Amino acid sequence: MTSLADWHAGGERLPICGHQIFVRQDGPADGSPLTLVHGFPTSSHDWVYVLPALLDAGHRVTTLDLLGFGASDKPRPYDYTLVEQATIVEAVWTDLGIATTALVAHDYGVSVAQELLARDAEAGSDSESVPGPTRITAMTWLNGGLYPDLHRPIPTQEALAGPDGPALVAAMNEELFAATLRGIFGRPVSDAVLHELWLALDMGDGTTVMPPLLAYMAERRTNAERWVSALEQYAGRQTFIWGPVDPISGGHVAERIAQRLPHAALHVLDDPPAVGHYPQVEAPELVGPLLVAALA
């Protein structure tokens, strides 16, 4: 496993949209472009467990820490929005010369991806060509709030997003963080992995920006119609890799996906022990090959 320190050593902070954003690229320069977008409250380092499979398949993999996460800037006070995060992803693509890319998103990142899909669809409809996928060539989703009406935040998230958020942040430590994550995992994850996840969160006093970042829950509801439409009308290839015992966006979301998107590939990781909220961390030996197949 690449440590968090080594992960950061292999990337760089780029000036993007007035902020310093950590970006990393792996794989051959002429490889098939692939972008991975992480979730809350961790960082791009989440993908390290499935990266070897993607590199073996010849992908040129771009990862970044979204604003407020990992090694990227954490401005405060600040109004963090998913819409701005999508703009940052687009700016990274432009900066790196990425014209088209497959996209994989998890948790918070699924809403960023839905905004990107909506923009893609709007760009396609404005052209004289037949509407369809433009910049995003294929879409793969891991557990996240694709349907805001099905999102079930855990009590810690609700508390952080409420008036008691600052007090809870003051009490946040690695032990509490690890206990919270274990509550949303389905498979056991080692203390070493949890420690790396904590280090990514804690960089630059990252716990202090958790409350404003959690404004994404309300933003999802505000944009629900647009983002669900972007998901369900996307013309490209879609794959879902889902942990069913995730209490936040698990089996109940997979059921909606099966109903609304019957032609998409849906992989429910329910072999005992079933997978929870972080498939790429809990079961990389399953997720890596599924990602490669989805993107082939």
Q: Categorize the per-residue pLDDT at 126 as very low, low, confident or very high, splitting at 50, 70 and 90.
A: low
Task: Please tell me the distance from the alpha carbon of residue 112 to that of residue 39, in angstroms, as a whole number.
Answer: 10
Distance of alpha carbon 227 from alpha carbon 83, whole angstroms: 11
- Position 130 scores a pLDDT of 44
The two counts, helices (H) then strands (E), for the chain are: 14, 8
Q: What is the pLDDT of residues 78-89, one digit of tens each?
A: 999 999 999 999
- Given a cut of 70, whether residue 204 has pLDDT beyond it is yes
Instruction: Write down all domains in the chain, each with its CATH number in brackets.
Output: 4-295 (3.40.50.1820)
Rounded Cα distance between 89 and 105, Å, is 12
- pLDDT tens string 207-260: 999 999 999 999 999 999 999 999 999 999 999 999 999 999 999 999 999 999
C-beta of residue 59 within 8 angstroms of C-beta of residue 291: no
% pLDDT > 90, the chain: 94
Please spell the DSSP secondary structure of 173-214, one letter per residue: -HHHHHHHHHTT-SS---HHHHHHHHHHHHTTSGGGGHHHHT
In this prediction, residue 129 carries a pLDDT of 47
Integer angstrom CA distances of residue 275 from 12, 180, 282: 32, 16, 7
Average pLDDT over residues 63-72: 98
Task: Extract the tokens encoding 133.
Answer: 């996928």
Note the pTM of the prediction, 2 decimals: 0.96
Structure confidence by residue, pLDDT tens digits, 137-180: 999 999 999 999 999 999 999 999 999 898 889 999 999 999 99
